[in-house]
Amino acid sequence: MASTNRSPFERLRNQYNEVDLVCPKCGYDDADGEWQAVTTGGVVQYRHICPSCGSIRRRTISLGP
């Protein structure tokens, strides 16, 4: 089992920035954009704003416990 020094937080962020920058509403591929993460308490909120149509996507992830 390989271990990694990268935090789950970082891994998730990179995952979003690599695979999920296409706006589901207008299909715009925001290749230069990124999900912005805000950490509050044990929760991480991700936000992506489509530069084409302005649609805002939000995701909240609990880092638990």
CB of 61 to Zn ion, least distance (A): 22
CB of 1 to Zn ion, least distance (A): 40
DSSP 3-state of 19: helix
Binding interface with Zn ion (CB under 5 A): 23, 25-26, 28, 50, 52-53, 55
Pick between residue 12 and residue 22 the one whose CB is nearest to Zn ion: 22
CB of 54 to Zn ion, least distance (A): 7
- Closest to 60 (Cα-Cα) out of 47, 36, 44, 39: 44
